[in-house]
Each structure stands twice: as C-alpha cells, then as structure tokens.
Structure 1
Amino acid sequence: MRYDLDDLRLFLHVVDEGSITAGARRMHLSLPSASARVRALEHHAGVTLLVRGRRGVRPTPAGSTLARHAHEVLAQTALLEGAVASYARPSAAPLVLLAGGSAMHRFVPQALVSFLRSHPDVDVTVSECRTPETMRLLAAGEADLGIVQSHEAIGDELPIEALGDDSLVAIGQAGGVLVDRAAVSYREVAEHPLVGLGPGSSLQHWIETSLGANAPAARFRTLVPDLTTLIALAVAGVGLAVVPRRSVAPESAVEVCELTDSWARRAHLLCWGARERGEPEIRTALADHLRAAARRGTEGGSSIVDGHQS
C-alpha cells in the first residue's frame, strides 16, 4: 500500500486535535475534503483508524500504531528533504563569531544551540579570541560579531552594546576559608593556596597585568587549561580560584566571595563588525540569541557546554 504524505500529516493533526474539523483547519482543507481523505486512508488500510463520537475522535489501536509510524516517516522525510536541498542552496560564507574564554564557557554555547536549531541553513564559525585581536578583526571586516571585555575594548568606531556582567569572584570549598565572607581582596586570597589557569589564558593575563609590580607572592598548586577543571578543583578544596561569577553554576556547592579590587569589575560587550559579510537579518538574529543567552546567564541559567579557558 502507498501512503500519501499529506494524508499522514492530516491524520496526525486529527489525532493531535481530537477532531477532524480542527485537523482540517491545520491543513487548510475543507471539512468534507479532510473527511474524505481520512475515509480513503481507512479504506486503503483495511481497518478502522478512528473512533468517532459526539465530542470528537480518538484513534483505535490500529490508528495509534499508524500515528506512531507516521511521526517517524515524516521526521525521516524532513531529514531527507533537508539533506538533498542543502546541495541545491547556494553556498554562503558562515557567520564568524569571536569571543573570549569566559563567554565561551557558558552563554556562547547556549546561544549557538538555539540559533543553529532555528536557522538550519546557516553555519557559524566560532573562535576563542582575546579582545584586542577581536576588535582588530571586526574593524577589518573579517568577523561579524565579537564578545569583548569592557576594560579592553578600545576605540569607538565600531557599533557596540552592553551584554552582561562578567565580574570576577573568589571561590573555594563549601565551608572553607571563604565561608561567611561577603567580600575579599585578591591579596587576601593570595595568602591561601591557589589553583589557576595556564599562561595562555586571557583571564590569567588580565589578573597579572592588573596587579603589575604589586602582585602578592602566591602559591599556585597547579595551573589548568580550562574553567571547568579550575572550578572542579576549587570545589574539591584543592585551592582557592578567581573566576568570572557567571562561570559558576548556581547549584554548585562552593563558597563565592566578591573581589574588592577595582579591576575585578568587568562586563561583556557585543561588538559588530565594520562590514556586512552576509545577510544583515541573519547577523541580527545571531545577536538576538546572544543577548537572550546572556540574560539567562545573569538569571542563573545552567551551562550546556564546558571545557573552554577564560
């Protein structure tokens, strides 16, 4: 037996709505036309698919089986159509997004998930990049969007907007030396064993640059390549760590303490490239997803992807 895909779609709508009338409306069909299609489907199947009543319809056991398999058939058909159609579409250059490690740790992955799911025809190239290099590439028209640090974004020739707080905090084992402390200076933090990020990290570079010649002598028990490992070590009590507040999941069993140093106050900015490299509305859509993800991070959203350094 050959099944018509539109008949299967109609049948699923009817089952979902519990009404042939509502199913017909979703398929933009008249009620007589939809009823005829359903009857023809039952005739070809050789079984009753719907129990009709005064309050609507419900599937018979055979109808439920058909609906389950129809879902699978239509899902596979959509994948087939998308795969084949991709060869017919003109190839377009992917959007280029640049961001530092702090943004990469949490809200950039969240934004990418939502954006790429809602724009299956658009590709995005993402690179971890320090703010000065990001600003250079944006000004040169080699990137579409960049997430930069407020304290390093120099120059006002590029469109730029506030995106969210990225201030630094000290973290340590729950019930440890930071317990009941609301705020602490970096110099106090450095009196205890520390864990930190490696020398290639933009966060570690920022801390060292900010401290300059006044840097206290600190004992780093280990230097690790990413925030995920760093936070795990601090939670386990290996040492205190300085991390962006937004990188710490709300449910983490860890003491979080404000840093009183002025250089710990930072913010993420969204910066736009100097030249349009593709369709303007697509770049705007990606920016919208980044803003939404940044808001979720501020409200305590959870991390999807870990493993990037800051």
Structure 2
Amino acid sequence: MRYDLDDLRLFVNVVAEGSITAGAARMHLSLPSASARVRALESQAGVALLIRERRGVRPTPAGTTLARHAREVLAQTARLDSAVASYTAARSRPLVLVAGTSAMDRLVPAALASFLREYPEHDVTVSEQRTPRSLRLLSEGKADLGIVSDDEAGSTSLRTELLADDSLVVIGQSGGVLAGRQSLSYADVAEHPMVGLPADAALRGWIDKHLGPHAPVPRYRTLVPTLHALITLATAGVGLAVVPLRSVPPGPLLDIRPLTDPWSTRSHLLCHSAHRPTTATKSLAHHIHLAAG
C-alpha cells in the first residue's frame, strides 16, 4: 500500500487531539475534507482505524499501530528533508579557530561539540598554534578566534577576554616519587625520568621558552603527541609529566603537585580577530566561554 504523508500527518493529529475536528484545524483543513481523507485511509487499510463516539474519536488497535508507525515515518522524513537541505543551502566559509595544546585537549572539543550541534549550517577549521603564531593569524584576519596564553598576549592590540586558569602541575603515578612532596620546582622534576610532548607541540615550545639556557635537561623516556597519551603514561608510572591542571582527570591513580616556578601560573585568553566579528563568530565565542566555565 502507498500512504500519503499528509494523510498520515492528519491521522496522527486526529489521534493526538481525540477529534477529527481538532485534527483538521491543526492541518488547516475543513472538516469535510479531513473526514474524507480519514475514510479514504481506512478504505486503503481495509480496516477501521477510529472508533467514533459522541465526544470525539479514539483509535482502534489497528489505528494505534498505524499512528505509532506514522510518527516514525514522519520523523524520518523530517530528518531526510534536513539532510538534503544542508547540501542545497548556501555554505558560508568555515570559521577558523586557533589554539594551543592545552586548549585542544578539552576546551576546544567541548566548545565545538555544543556549537556544531546548535549551528549545523556552520563549519569550523581548527589548528594547533603557539600563541605568537595565533596572534599573527588573528591580526591578519586569517583566523576568527584564538585561545592564547595570557603572558604572551599581554602586548597585543587585539581584543581579549579571560577564559580560565591554565596553570601547569607535575603529575606522576600515585605513591611514586611525588609521594610526601607538597610542591616541586621544574629543576626538581627534571631529576627524574619524564614523559613529554614533541618539540613542535605548542605547550612544549612554551615550556622550553620559559626554562632558559641554564635549566636542567630532562631525560624524556618517550614523546607522545597528545596530552591524553601523556597523562596515561604518567599514570602508568613511566615518568613524571608537566601538564595543565585542567587536563588532569579526577581520580586516585595520580599524584598531582603544583610547580613553584612563577611561569607555571598562567591563564587562557580568548582573542578576537582584527576583523569585525560575524554573528557566527560571536556564537562560537559564547560556546567557548561556556566550555571554559
């Protein structure tokens, strides 16, 4: 059998309202037209779908089954229309978001998840950049938003907003070399085997820049590309790691200690492009603030 979608939609409304009159009103149909459609649907089905009573109608068992499946068909049709429409709508250029290693770990994914769900018409291009490079891209209008470190963005003329604390800590396996220590300097940390990020990672570059030429050279047992992998290795006892506190998951498997070095205290800033922000850019900025909060 072939069903007309408008007939199915009318029938669902009639069942929901308990009245052909009310169902017709929701479909902007006259009562005679709606009644004729329902009778035609029953004729096509070959079984009564409604029980007519003085105060309205109620579905027969067959009508209840038809209404349930009709709702599913109509929902699938709506999703189909939306999916096809996404290809016919005029596509705007992707927004460009730049950020460092720390923000890429949790902040950026959380912000993108909520933004992209709410705005299916917009896409976002994301790249990991060190703060100086991010500021150049924003100044040149090649990026729309950037998440940067406060100590490196202090002299910029671009508009910035405080996002969140991004201080660094040292982590190691629970009960290991950090047990009994209240805090450590980086020099203390470097006396032990470590795990770290590659030299081209934004966070690694930021740390190396602040250590200076006379800082102790750590023994990295291995270098891994993500903070998640770094934390996993530190949890397993492979070596100590210096990571943002915000990236460390709660739990008993890690010892976490603050660093005494002044450079370990830092914050994330949201930095705006030199160009006038669009409505989409403002919306993405709002979702970044929500994720940071």
TM-score range, shorter chain: 0.7 to 0.9
Q: 1:126 to 1:23 in 2, by over 3 A?
A: farther
User: Which residue pairs with 1:205 in the alignment?
Assistant: 205
Q: Deviation per CA, 1:110-131, whole angstroms, max 9, x where unpaired? A: 1111111111111111111111
Instruction: State the 1:84 CA deviation.
Output: 3.0
Structure 2: how far apart are the matches of 1:165 and 1:215?
A: 25
Q: Is the 8 A contact 2:197 2:204 kept in 1?
A: yes
User: Which residue pairs with 1:221 in the alignment?
Assistant: 221
Q: In the alignment, residue 237 of structure 2 is paired with which amino acid?
A: G
Listed as ranges, the matches of 1:196-275 within 5 Å are: 196-251=196-251, 253-275=253-275
Q: Is the 8 A contact 1:144 1:276 kept in 2?
A: no
Q: 1:155 to 1:189 in 2, by over 3 A?
A: same
Is 1:289 the counterpart of 2:280 in the alignment?
no
Instruction: State the 1:218 CA deviation.
Output: 2.3
Q: Deviation per CA, 1:142-175, whole angstroms, max 9, x where unpaired? A: 1111111111114342111011111111111122
Is 1:88 the counterpart of 2:113 in the alignment?
no
* Aligned-partner SS, 1:213: coil
Structure 2: how far apart are the matches of 1:175 and 1:274?
A: 49
Segments of 5+ residues of structure 2 without an aligned counterpart are none
Structure 1: how far apart are the matches of 2:202 and 2:74?
A: 47
* Aligned-partner SS, 1:216: coil
* Aligned-partner SS, 1:214: coil
Structure 2: how far apart are the matches of 1:237 and 1:21?
A: 72
Structure 1: how far apart are the matches of 2:84 and 2:285?
A: 29
Q: Is the 8 A contact 2:50 2:59 kept in 1?
A: yes
Structure 2: how far apart are the matches of 1:155 and 1:125?
A: 26
Listed as ranges, the matches of 1:78-117 within 5 Å are: 78-117=78-117
User: Which residue pairs with 1:298 in the alignment?
Assistant: none
Instruction: State the 1:11 CA deviation.
Output: 5.9
User: Which residue pairs with 1:137 in the alignment?
Assistant: 137
TM (normalized to structure 2)? 0.82
Instruction: State the 1:75 CA deviation.
Output: 3.8
Q: In the alignment, residue 266 of structure 1 is paired with which amino acid?
A: R
The structure whose Rg is larger is: 2
Segments of 5+ residues of structure 1 without an aligned counterpart are 296-310
Q: In the alignment, residue 102 of structure 2 is paired with which amino acid?
A: S
Q: Is the 8 A contact 1:162 1:269 kept in 2?
A: yes
Q: 1:281 to 1:236 in 2, by over 3 A?
A: same
Listed as ranges, the matches of 1:36-55 within 5 Å are: 44-47=44-47
Q: Is the 8 A contact 1:171 1:255 kept in 2?
A: yes
Q: In the alignment, residue 289 of structure 1 is paired with which amino acid?
A: H
Q: In the alignment, residue 287 of structure 1 is paired with which amino acid?
A: A
Q: Deviation per CA, 1:51-79, whole angstroms, max 9, x where unpaired? A: 999xx999766456445533542343233
User: Which residue pairs with 1:300 in the alignment?
Assistant: none
Instruction: State the 1:190 CA deviation.
Output: 1.7
* Aligned-partner SS, 1:157: coil
TM (normalized to structure 1)? 0.78
Q: Is the 8 A contact 1:165 1:268 kept in 2?
A: yes
Q: Is the 8 A contact 1:208 1:215 kept in 2?
A: no
Deviates more, 1:151-160 or 1:43-52: 43-52
CA RMSD, 1 decimal:
3.6
Pairs aligned (count): 292
Task: Quote the sequence identity (%).
Answer: 63
Instruction: State the 1:50 CA deviation.
Output: 7.3
Instruction: State the 1:23 CA deviation.
Output: 8.4
